[in-house]
């Protein structure tokens, strides 16, 4: 869903698997982009395409009408926003009053509230806006944003979102976007975890995993994610599409939230420990479907 | 997938939500059907349509070229097959050498092996053939059979299966059908359990369950069963389609099998306890999606 | 607690780690003992001490005023009691009207009820009477019996129990003994499971397991079973005292009971899967404290 | 174990159930004590006994040779140490080079490391020193300290510890004290959780909880904590001795640590969700043995 956009000054921090293609789409849409990444070399292609490279997160935020962040976890985001002690290099310090800050990392609603308070002090408007759709969705401009924050702010941001996304949902005040995102990743983690347990069982019982998959695809147990993941799980092909360490982190954030609210999540908690076991054993970067390795003899 | 069939003498035991429409399709296809059910009144419509009503399971088996059973759990099946002490009323005692026995109940692979041995002693050929597709699939002749047993026996049975099913899978020796069935129900139970946990979380966080569903349906977390079940879960409409007590029983059978094999299933085990909690609290018959009630305040 | 006893005719079936010393204490107290064991060679020492060796369970029961069984699991007990099809060798067939049957195996309350019904048909009185105290308690006549059944029957049995036990508890009707026994083993399994998880954590954090044990023993976390097991767990000395496969079986019986009653046991269910994992990986017979191997790298 | 002590200038922050009696023992031993608490009124008795009341955490630290903190959780400790933005009221800012800081709160090893780094910058020596022994142990000077940090620093602190404790353990570098403390609380939480599951089962099976307790106390399943807690659990007397919300928090810290290290703790994770469920339902402050309420009908 592309919306023709007036060129704006945009800062973008975090050039990973998701951030890079998001940045490229913003450039292609004609926006003036300043980027920052911990490993500066990841910015080369974007700089060649016209992006400016900032030396610090603060510098990436300084001229921006809109700042986007897309980093891997809460500690990485805190470092980007508040910077290093005594260095005055954090993005929050650079943001101008009147600007809009959009975070698309997956973080806790608690950190969302802390960021919202810090933005409010600086007259910066803030949206939590995690995404789904994967790196493929990021390249194609086909992401889905889950948004928490003020509706009027969202309206202003829509021309920018339209460059990256096919769809967005306004879900409530700050934190609502992250809450829905965590819930959704919990569903994905358990779907894949369920597939892994079922495969482990039929294989140990002497059958082939492919048999379960074939029958499952003729049944209600079928699902989008299982159609994609289950053949790879049976082959043992765990090249990371959505890395296990990130899914494991998201399950942790979901359980933190649930435990603060006093909502018991027995199956999610059980699955998290299985992911943790595999993370603890793994030497290399794996897709979260590698949860199957728990049963490896 | 209807296959034109020579009329055969068929016994069918178990006239529940699944057994009745299966029997009706066999009648419509022109077969001679003798039925038995613990509550005989459930046979009325079938008798009106031409079925013969047996007085005992043994009698239902006595003339059959093919015997089908479709009962709710392993104890019910053991009673049907071996009868009551001293009464000589069990179906096994009635089966003629050369006949074929097909069980479509969901039971343990261990019980399958015990039945297979008892059939072998009597020169009866046996298939474990649990189904998926629900009562809707049973009415429409759209079931899927998961079959364990001898391939030649299956060939002989296919004209009969074709009256009830759109598809069947030959999965291996006796027990293979039940193993795959249990694994599949485990996946379903965890998919619905995952949805329930995610809904419980977002609702306690102050959002509406419909919001999670709407976003989920635009994402990879979407699945057939969640499309059907999640709106009912949010409404609290738990009219039984697949009863919770049967799903709970199937999870128990799956965990029994896994524990015999030494395959740890942490998330399935956690989910089973949640289903158990709701079963223990429930006064009425509920669909398995009522697992949501675990979080009811 | 030894009670001077009139010599009685006693049958004892099951000469494992527990049954053998129990039998020896009965012989020493002057009773006339007939024994049976699947592996007959295990009876040698007892025969040398004056026991008669029966050829079948039925024969062991035939002359007995009191029959005791002490076997490893429910299937073993069912085989002993009902015998093999067509062989008429089961103990139930041998029991005389008026005799008393005491089962000290750990089995399900459901099987207790089935046995109680079969005994009632034969005018045999029946107690479920599982024990605690280990093989050491069996040798020293220091067992504790947990008893379900009729109080008057228990009174008649007390002179015999007094030869084997220091204490017994009358807990209610048939099944009550097994229910308490299963609950108690569940507590033991979780205490040892908790110790294992805590040790796994501190060791992975770079500390030594002995440090946790030393501090624990100065604290409320101390317990009898942990005093005994934790040093062995740290050393990796898993010579079976109470075999893991039996603890795993008892956890299964406890969870079966709980799930029939609709009582959710989340931590017990989680622990059972960990025991199952270790059972599935183990090549040899191990003590249940070998649950530690779950975390072995 | 009281050690005669030269009077020293001590700051103590946190006057809860534990902090107050610890402070009183320091006063009685003749030390000069400056205290701070969020609710100042809790200091009255101590001020009457000679303590000085500080206006901020910073002031409590300013003159101290030794600073102790004893607060309820990591956020409370962070607020005490770093103060409020722009107010310059945190204890860290007050600490003098050469002083020693001892934290006896239960916090994460990760926060320990952050504090250790902040102390090192200020030439302050730091020990993590959580305790066990409860408010009774605090009153009697019978606590046990679990200590992480430099051995020479511990030597200097021993005369002060000796006023409050019967015993202390030097467990390794900073973080080791907290790691052992979390592991121990995990064992306690699972022991009580196991008792609760076992009681829930026997009660639902129609027996009385007292029966299980009586038998348990004649067996290996006995333990210090169960001797104390189980009679209260059966009575439903959940007056807080160790509050459930703190045990729930400690389980969260333990699981955070385990998940960072990739150590799966299935039973601890399952138990945590049960504690969470009860926390979410509870209206009042309860002892952690109130985990029993999970099964309340």
Q: Would residue B40 count as lying in a domain?
A: yes
Closest CA in chain D for residue C292: D265
A3 part of a folded domain: no
Residues of chain B contacting residue D297, judged by C-beta atoms under 8 Å apart: 281
Domain check: are A151 and A191 in the same one? Answer: no
Per the structure, how many domains does chain A have? Answer: 2
B181 catalytic residue (yes or no): yes
Q: At A240, phi and psi to the nearest 5?
A: -65, 120
Is the sign of the CA dihedral A281, A283, A286, A290 positive or negative? negative
Boundary residue ending a domain (B127, B145, B173): B173
- Percent of chain B as helix, strand, coil, to the nearest 5: 55, 15, 30
Q: Which residue(s) pair with D172 in the sheet?
A: D148
Residue C5 has pLDDT above 80, yes or no: no
Q: Is C2 contained in some domain? A: no
8-state DSSP, B56: S
pLDDT for the residue numbered C1? 41
How far apart CA D163 and CA B209 sit, in angstroms, is 56
Region D193-198: mean pLDDT is: 98
**All residues at 6 or more sequence positions from B296 whose CB lies less than 8 Å from its CB, including other chains:** none
Residues in chain A: 297
The Cα A251–Cα A255 span in angstroms is: 6
Using the predicted structure, report yes or no on whether residue C217 has a pLDDT greater than 70: yes
Q: Which of B205, B266, B271 to mutate to test the interface with D (most CBs of D within 10 A)?
A: B266
Q: C-alpha angle with apex B85: B79 to B86, nearest 5 degrees? A: 135
The yes-or-no verdict on residue D72 having pLDDT over 90 is yes
What was the pLDDT predicted at A297?
60
Any domain includes B2: no
Of D159, D174, D189, the position where a domain reaches its end is: D174
The Cα–Cα gap between B214 and B221 comes to: 11
Q: What is the pLDDT of residues A189-220, one digit of tens each?
A: 999 999 999 999 999 999 999 999 999 999 98
Same structural domain for residues D198 and D283? yes
Q: Are residues C49 and C157 in the same domain?
A: yes
- What would the pLDDT profile of B258-271 be if each residue is shown by its tens digit? 999 999 999 999 99
The answer to whether residue A1 sits within a structural domain is no
Mean of the pLDDT values across residues B103-118?
A: 97
Is the same domain home to D151 and D266? Answer: no
Q: Does C245 touch chain B (CB under 8 A)?
A: no
C-beta separation of C136 from C166 below 8 A:
no
Report the alpha-carbon distance of residue C72 to residue C84 in Å, rounded: 18
Q: In chain A, count of helices (H) and strands (E)?
A: 13, 9
Cβ-Cβ contacts under 8 Å, A269 against chain B: 270
**How much is the pLDDT for B2?**
47
Bridge partners (DSSP) of residue C52 are C34
* DSSP string computed for B172-236: ESTTHHHHHHHHHHHHHHHHHHHHHHHHHHHHHTT--HHHHHHHHTTSTT-BHHHHHHHHHHHHT
Residue A111 within any structural domain of the chain: yes
Which of A28, A114, A155, A181 is flagged as catalytic? A181
Q: Give the model's pLDDT for residue A296.
A: 83
CB contact under 8 A, C264 and B273: yes
Query: What stretches of D102-175 show up as alpha helix (H) in DSSP?
Result: 109-121, 134-140, 151-164
C-alpha C14/C-alpha C38 separation (Å) is 8
Show which of residues 49-78 on chain A sit within 8 Å of chain B, judged by CB atoms.
none
Percent of chain C with pLDDT over 70: 98
B224: containing domain: 180-295
A258 contacts on D by Cβ (under 8 Å): 276
Contacts of D42 (CB under 8 A, 6+ apart): D15, D16, D20
Is D45 in CB contact (< 8 Å) with chain B? no
CB A127 within 8 A of CB A105: no
CB contacts, 8 Å: A280 with chain C: 204
| Nearest residue of C to residue D215, measured between CA atoms | C169
Quick check: is B238 in a domain? Answer: yes
Residue whose pair of structure tokens reads 């990760």 in the numeric block = D110
Provide the pLDDT for residue B297.
60
Tell me which of D175, D181, D197, D213 to substitute to probe the interface with C (most C C-beta atoms closer than 10 Å). Answer: D197
Could you tell me if D242 and D288 are in contact, meaning their C-beta atoms sit under 8 angstroms apart? yes
Confidence (pLDDT) at B4: 53
Indicate if B130 and B184 belong to the same structural domain.
no
Q: What is the mean pLDDT of residues B22-28?
A: 98
pLDDT digits (tens, 9 = 90+) for D197-237: 999 999 999 999 999 999 999 998 999 999 999 999 999 99
Record: contact C270-B270, CB cut-off 8 A: yes
In 3D, which of A82, A262, A272 has the Cα closest to residue A189?
Answer: A272
- The CATH number assigned to the domain holding A94 equals 3.40.50.720
Same domain, C128 and C191: no
Q: Are residues D279 and D162 in the same domain?
A: no
Asked if residues B254 and B265 have their Cβ atoms less than 8 Å apart, the reply is yes
Query: Of residues D28, D55, D181, D239, which has the active-site annotation?
Result: D181
Residue A1: predicted pLDDT: 41
C4: confidence class by pLDDT, cuts 50, 70, 90: low
Size of chain C in residues = 297
Q: Inter-chain contact B276–C256, Cβ cutoff 8 Å?
A: no
**Gap between the Cα atoms of D212 and C188, Å rounded:** 13
What is the residue whose two structure tokens read 């435990």? A259
Q: Which CATH number belongs to the domain containing residue A192 in this structure?
A: 1.10.1040.10
Residue with tokens 């649930």: A258
Q: Encode pLDDT of D2-53 as tens digits.
A: 445 689 999 999 999 999 999 999 999 999 999 999 999 999 999 999 999 9
> Do C50 and C99 fall into the same domain?
yes
A265 and B201 within 8 Å at the Cβ level: the answer is: yes
* pLDDT given at position B245: 96
Residue with tokens 């049957």: C101
Report how far residue C14's alpha carbon sits from residue C74's, in angstroms, rounded to the nearest whole number.
13
- Give domain status of residue A4, yes or no: no
Average confidence score pLDDT of chain D? 95
Mean pLDDT of C23-46: 97
User: Does pLDDT of C18 surpass 90?
Assistant: yes
Q: Containing H/E element for A226?
A: helix A224-235
Q: Which of B92, B253, B255 to mutate to test the interface with C (most CBs of C within 10 A)?
A: B255
Q: Does B195 touch chain A (CB under 8 A)?
A: yes
Cα–Cα distance for residue pair C59/C103, rounded to 1 Å: 17
Residues A130 and A276 reside in one and the same domain? no
The alpha helices in D122-240, defined as continuous H runs, are 134-140, 151-164, 176-204, 209-216, 224-235
Looking at the fold, whether D112 and D142 belong to one and the same domain comes out as: yes
The chain A residue lying nearest C295, using CA atoms, is A277
Q: Cβ(B141)–Cβ(B164) under 8 Å?
A: yes
What pLDDT is attached to residue D26?
98
Looking at residues C174-184, what average pLDDT do you find? 98
On chain C, the residues whose CB falls within 8 A of the CB of B279 are 262
Burial D8-33 (b: 16+ CB within 10 A, else e): bbbbbbbbbbbbbbbbbbbbebebbb
Residue that is last in its domain, among C153, C174, C195: C174
- A57 and A147 assigned to the same domain: yes
What is the SS3 assignment for A27? helix
Under 8 Å between Cβ of B240 and B287: yes
C-alpha D77/C-alpha D110 separation (Å) is 13
| A242-256 mean pLDDT | 97
* pLDDT tens column, B197-253: 999 999 999 999 999 999 999 998 999 999 999 999 999 999 999 999 999 999 999
Q: Are residues A160 and A262 in the same domain?
A: no
The answer to whether residue B3 scores a pLDDT higher than 60 is no
Taking the Cβ of residue C262 and every Cβ of chain B, the question of whether any pair is shorter than 8 Å is answered with yes
For residues A149 and A115, what is the distance between their CA atoms, to the nearest angstrom? 12
């Amino acid at each position: 869903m592309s919306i023709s956009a007036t060129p704006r000054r945009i800062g973008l921090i975090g050039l990973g698997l998701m951030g890079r293609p998001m940045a490229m789409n913003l450039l292609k849409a004609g926006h003036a982009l300043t980027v920052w990444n911990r490993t500066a070399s990841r910015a080369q292609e974007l700089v060649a395409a016209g992006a400016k490279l900032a030396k610090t997160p603060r510098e990436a935020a300084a001229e921006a009408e809109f700042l986007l962040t897309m980093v891997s976890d809460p500690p990485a985001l805190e470092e980007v926003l508040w910077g290093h002690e005594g260095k005055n290099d954090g993005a929050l310090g650079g943001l101008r009053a009147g600007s809009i800050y959009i975070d698309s990392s997956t973080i806790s609603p608690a950190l969302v509230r802390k960021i919202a308070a810090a933005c409010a002090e600086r007259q910066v408007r803030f949206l939590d806006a995690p995404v789904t759709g994967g790196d493929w969705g990021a390249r194609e401009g086909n992401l889905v944003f889950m948004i928490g924050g003020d509706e009027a702010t969202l309206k202003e941001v829509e021309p920018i979102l339209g460059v990256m996304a096919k769809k967005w949902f306004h879900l409530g005040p700050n934190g609502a976007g992250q809450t829905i995102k965590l819930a959704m990743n919990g569903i994905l983690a358990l779907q894949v975890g369920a597939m892994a347990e079922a495969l482990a069982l039929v294989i140990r019982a002497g059958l082939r995993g492919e048999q379960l998959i074939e029958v499952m695809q003729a049944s209600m147990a079928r699902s989008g994610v299982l159609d994609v993941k289950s053949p790879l799980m049976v082959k043992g092909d765990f090249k990371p599409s959505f890395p296990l360490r990130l899914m494991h982190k998201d399950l942790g954030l979901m359980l933190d939230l649930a435990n603060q609210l006093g909502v018991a999540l027995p199956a999610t908690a059980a699955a998290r420990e299985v992911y943790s076991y595999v993370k603890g054993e793994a030497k290399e970067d794996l897709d979260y479907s590698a949860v199957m390795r728990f049963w490896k003899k």
